[in-house]
Structure 1
């Protein structure tokens, strides 16, 4: 199975920590975030990976080639500027085949069973998103069957309803998704920089994108400086 690790972010929320190194090489308990991601994907049977890189990208490439030389790992280099998750995915599209694949943010740690997640994904769906019921300013809106119908930002008050339904629920995205390669037919081909979340919000009007709940699992966003020490205590 194939997977993409999103590792091209600037790490702006980590400030001085990522001044001279990429976010993917930030360590938790002596192990880099990209190492956590690679080893987790490998454990669950994702045996061919592409990593999109930008900020201090050569450091990531050198690290991976040194420590994971026996694994099938490729790189999608975004030299001029980061393309965000949507643009990064689109740039790497030739890596994927007709099989559904996994996308994984490098700045998260979780104990989510990726094999079980993959099995829960319905082949006719455009994407399945690992979500939780947790505090978050930005949340997907879903219908009674957990299919996306919109999005909201609690802080700004912004709300986008792509498909009107009664009794909408909310779900906070965990940065892990299973994607149907058919999605490339619908992504904004002429736009270089865009978020895959934005695309999901637009596409859910006519396509099935499901939020799958993992609220009983451990999860943390290590892209925030204050969460590094928390992550170290949670994932020992």
Structure 2
């Protein structure tokens, strides 16, 4: 098993903390978000982890040099240029075995997901995305086979999809039982996904080096087998803002 941790972001939503340290080194109950993610991946059987860095990159490099996690950890250095999520995966490919699936994990996500089972379950898909039924403004759109077909902003009614007929629909804010609309599911992305070899083949053909992975997924949704997985008892927290950082200690105690 191999993985990549997105740790290059500027962490603007966590200011003023991230005025002096990278988001990856923000602590929850005395342990950095980076350490928590690495330990979760190692416990799942991960043998190699690639960490991309940009904001205060030297601090993350020094931190990893000073802490031995007993696992092969490599740095994908974006210090000179932040590549966004899609460009980040594309650049990190040289440090990974792209003939095997790679689990991608945002550094600021805490969850109760069994990462090993999720990784193994994703065999056969070009991309497997962990999704959930939560309130948001932006939803991924899946057909009844849980294949990604588009994205929508329910406030603006904007739809992005390679399928013209889907772009003619209008989706409303889901209620507790309303995540199925027009025979499609509206689900929110968790920040955890597994990508397979065919995805890397498509990334190599991509001319751009800086782009979001979600835009790439939507562009290839009619060509790649991009599937969603909804964990029924999912507990997840995005520790990306100061208010959720305050909730994180309770989350660690109660859910993890």
Q: TM-score range by the shorter chain?
A: over 0.9
Separation (CA, whole Å) in 1 of partners of 2:70 and 2:123: 32
How has the CA–CA distance of structure 1 residues 118 and 69 changed in structure 2, closer, same or farther, with 3 Å as cutoff? closer
Q: How far off its partner does 1:70 sit?
A: 3.1
Q: Is the 8 A contact 1:131 1:215 kept in 2?
A: no
State the match for 2:238 in structure 1. Answer: 221
Separation (CA, whole Å) in 2 of partners of 1:157 and 1:65: 47
State the match for 1:100 in structure 2. Answer: 101
SS at match of 1:40: helix
Q: Is the 8 A contact 1:140 1:150 kept in 2?
A: yes
SS at match of 2:103: strand
Q: How far off its partner does 1:139 sit?
A: 1.2
Q: TM-score, normalised by structure 1?
A: 0.95
Q: How far off its partner does 1:58 sit?
A: 0.9
State the match for 1:117 in structure 2. Answer: 118
Q: How far off its partner does 1:215 sit?
A: 4.1
Question: Where does structure 1 differ by over 4 angstroms across 4 or more consecutive aligned residues?
Answer: none
Larger Rg: 2
**1:70-101, Cα deviation, whole Å (9 max, x unpaired):** 32100011022311110000011112221111
Q: How far off its partner does 1:118 sit?
A: 1.4
State the match for 2:192 in structure 1. Answer: 176
**1:118-163, Cα deviation, whole Å (9 max, x unpaired):** 122142x210001111112221100001110000122433211323
How has the CA–CA distance of structure 1 residues 216 and 58 changed in structure 2, closer, same or farther, with 3 Å as cutoff? same
State the match for 2:229 in structure 1. Answer: 212
Q: How far off its partner does 1:233 sit?
A: 0.6
- Residue among 183, 186, 203 paired with 1:167: 183
Q: How far off its partner does 1:225 sit?
A: 1.5
Separation (CA, whole Å) in 2 of partners of 1:80 and 1:215: 41
How has the CA–CA distance of structure 1 residues 69 and 217 changed in structure 2, closer, same or farther, with 3 Å as cutoff? closer
SS at match of 1:211: strand
Deviates more, 1:62-71 or 1:137-146: 62-71
Q: How far off its partner does 1:69 sit?
A: 5.4
Quote the RMSD (CA, aligned, Å). 1.4
Q: Is the 8 A contact 1:102 1:176 kept in 2?
A: yes
**1:9-65, Cα deviation, whole Å (9 max, x unpaired):** 000111211001100001111111000110000000011001000000111111122
State the match for 1:51 in structure 2. Answer: 51
**Which sections of structure 1, spanning at least 5 residues, go unmatched?**
none
SS at match of 1:52: strand
State the match for 2:88 in structure 1. Answer: 88
**Which sections of structure 2, spanning at least 5 residues, go unmatched?**
167-181
Q: Is the 8 A contact 1:133 1:215 kept in 2?
A: no
